Amino acid sequence: MSWMEKSGQANIELLKALSSGLKRIVSEICLGYRTISLKSGFCWMFGFIVVSIIIARFIFLSQLWKFSWMPAGLASSLAFSFVTFYLVIGPACIMFFDVLIEIKKKLQNVSHRPPLSLVKDFAKDYFTVEYLTTGVIAYCLLYGMFISYTNLKPAIPLLNHNLYDELLFQCDQSFLKVLSLGGLIRIPRNSTVTLFFDTLYPHMWTLASITLVAAYRNRLQFWRFLGGWCLVFGFSVPISVLFPSLGPAFYKPELFAYIDNTISSKAMQVLWKNYLSFKTNPIDTTIFCANGIVAMPSLHIALAYQSIYVLGKIYTSIKLILWILLILYFIATMYLGWHYFLDGVAGILLGWLAYKVSTTLFSEKIAK
């Protein structure tokens, strides 16, 4: 039996195993959450992840590339995020906001909970086996989504050899000229501003992780947000394949000399090295977490938009602050040279669409 036949047979066996697992997981989850139909979204979300993995594996098989079930650094990154944000920082932030809300009520002479009652209510939500189990399921689903995305992202330049950076760059010049009132408004390019945006940019993941924790008290919102998270990555791949671009700092590096020796510039060097490696030698290049270069659309903005939208529904009193934060994220992606203006616009539209679809799929009441 040839290598291709063995691989084909392995894919068939994999599909059967995944289908069997899908039926079992959906059955158990739906039973646990007392849903009455597949419209709850679990079946669709799990199925979407399975299909995305199968498509990615098929593409790699057809090109004779090595598909990675465990991309380097992916499992450890998600495990770190789970422990750090889902189990520690996230609940701590929620407790902090709960305290602030009760203090505000007390100052306004409105009925409020005493400290002991506040702690008990918090413990009922976040110190339970159910919270831990729900988190494990959520992060396992994210891992499944990231398997396909992490494999496909570095392969994009081989699936479409075109680059649209020149077009996006020219559009940027036109948009920025209007937004800056003909150059009257300029963001200073000094070390302080650069450090601020360079520190803010990678914390999109922190924001999304904390949002997931905050949404836990409303199970429907929790799974809608997680579904939107997964759909953002899945929907972004065909967009990136159809409209590939590198980003301004890769296309015009001479314009971004002010970001030298920053976290972003060092990350860009690693990404560029692996981008060229996979493009010239995909078979021997290691697939690892967060590799590849994709500007269109901006996933940072897509996830930031979803996170801020959901947090704004939970904490309505800070909604304005949250939207200002989104604007800062938007500016950071352009200031550091990661994305063009249209990348951010596409990211917002993608985030809105993914969350809208997830909201439609999770249409049943799944909270116990």
Task: Map residue 168 onto helix, strand or coil.
Answer: helix
Task: Map residue 288 onto helix, strand or coil.
Answer: strand
**Cβ atoms of 359 and 279 closer than 8 Å:** no
Query: What long-range pairs does 131-140 form, CB within 8 A, spacing at least 24?
Result: 131/216, 132/87, 134/216, 134/219, 134/222, 135/82, 135/86, 135/87, 136/82, 137/29, 138/212, 138/222, 138/226, 139/78, 139/81, 139/82, 139/86
* Concatenated DSSP letters of 103-165: HHHHHTT-----HHHHHHHHHHHHSSHHHHHHHHHHHHHHHHHHHHHHHHGGGHHHH-----H
Determine, yes or no, domain membership for 308. yes
- For position 269, what pLDDT does the model report? 93
Determine, yes or no, domain membership for 86. yes
Determine, yes or no, domain membership for 366. no
- Count structural domains, the chain: 1
**Residue 70 domain boundaries:** 3-361
Residue 40 has which token pair? 């709850």
Q: Tens of pLDDT along 215-267?
A: 999 888 999 999 999 999 999 999 999 999 999 999 999 999 999 999 999 99
**Cβ atoms of 219 and 367 closer than 8 Å:** yes
Determine, yes or no, domain membership for 313. yes
- For position 58, what pLDDT does the model report? 92
- For position 13, what pLDDT does the model report? 62
Determine, yes or no, domain membership for 368. no
Q: What is the pTM of this model?
A: 0.86
- For position 2, what pLDDT does the model report? 53
- For position 289, what pLDDT does the model report? 81
State which residues of the chain have pLDDT below 50.
3-4, 21-22, 25-26, 28-38, 366-368
Determine, yes or no, domain membership for 367. no
